[in-house]
Amino acid sequence: MALLLQTVRGLFLGVLCACATRPATPLPGAEPPVAARPASVFVAGGRDLPAGTRIVRWDEPGGYSAYRSAYGRGEEPGKKQTDGDVFGTRPGDPQSIGDLREVVHQVVVHYDVCGTSCRCFDVLKRRKLSCHFLLDADGTIYQTLDLKERAWHAGFANDHSIGIEIAQIGAYRDPSRLRGWYGDDGALAFPKSVPLGNLRPAGLKTARPGLIRGPIHGAAFHQRDFTPQQYDALVRLLAGLVRALPRIRPDAPRGADGRVLTTVLGTPKEARAFAGIVGHYHLTRGKIDPGPAFDWERVLDSVRARLEDF
């Protein structure tokens, strides 16, 4: 009898151990745990799509979420928003990647005039604005919203565009405004008052040393270049967006000479209709980002090369 009880007890404990160590079966249609998601994907219409570079999602540790109630009134993805919130609903209320392919035909590139994505997110929050992606100085990309949402970043283009805020202090007519942000060799520096968040700035330098001077809307501005890490991550993200949303052409507005325009793209109607990648200054004379240092040909050539290799 004692032997029989010992055998039964052993079988019972074995079943308990097996149940304790066996992974739980996810419910049909349930979101996978954060750790199970690929690191190099962005979210469009609830679907993970490849980007080829690290993207921190809004619900991951260290992420920046435009869905949090502390950010605005919208608390959950899919909740209907109004023009008073930090994001809204695109025309036609697209929910799937198929829907988005009918609606989205532009990417708008900004610099954030903040220097770090942490500081940028805080400024957006306080101003009741939003952007789909934040690109930090070290090349880390943060997605704050599903691309189905209408982010507030570029006026009339919000309906049909995706917004990317690149961490950089910006361009100025007076180059002294850049003091304290860069070393003589292009090394990035940050005033002590600027929050870094997840950024570790050691070793970061601009892709090209020295000041870059160029025209925007016919006026001369001075700017430092972006970092190689930012260019690489941006190219990978843009290539992923063009693959996922083919109405976005891998090109920018060009003039009769074939060069990328350094001013607004024609009339508001023409700017609205352009299918491709634009700077904020292409849409309005009131903006100059991403500035004269932004290397359009480097970015566009690299995006096209990645698309050909895909």
CA distance 240 to 52: 7
**The pLDDT value given to residue 85:** 78
CA angle 275, 267, 300 (to 5 degrees): 35
Identity of the amino acid at 47: R
Better-scored residue on pLDDT, 163 or 9? 163
In words, the CATH class of domain 38-309 is: alpha beta
**The pLDDT value given to residue 240:** 98
Looking at residues 239-259, what average pLDDT do you find? 98
Q: Are 223 and 172 in contact (CB under 8 A)?
A: yes
Residue 123, SS3? helix
pLDDT of 158 > 60? The answer is yes
- Residue 84's pLDDT band, with cuts at 50, 70 and 90, is low
**The pLDDT value given to residue 69:** 54
CA distance 40 to 171: 31
CA distance 94 to 19: 42
Q: Are 223 and 288 in contact (CB under 8 A)?
A: no
**The pLDDT value given to residue 107:** 98
Q: Model confidence over 2-34: pLDDT tens digits?
A: 433 344 344 333 333 333 332 333 333 334 444
Count CB atoms within 10 A of the CB of residue 93: 11
pLDDT of 175 > 70? The answer is yes
Better-scored residue on pLDDT, 70 or 136? 136
- Residue 173's pLDDT band, with cuts at 50, 70 and 90, is very high
CA distance 231 to 290: 12
CA distance 109 to 287: 11
Looking at residues 181-188, what average pLDDT do you find? 94
pLDDT of 245 > 50? The answer is yes
**The pLDDT value given to residue 309:** 84
Looking at residues 63-68, what average pLDDT do you find? 92
How much is the mean pLDDT over the chain? 87
pLDDT of 74 > 90? The answer is no
Both tokens of residue 297? 């040909």
Indicate the domain borders of the chain. Answer: 38-309
Beta bridge partners of 305: none
Q: Which residues of 297-306 are buried (b: 16+ CB within 10 A; e: fewer)?
A: ebbbebbbeb
**The pLDDT value given to residue 36:** 57
- pLDDT > 70: percent of the chain: 83
Q: Which of 10-14, 76-80, 183-187, 254-258 is modeled with the greatest confidence?
A: 254-258
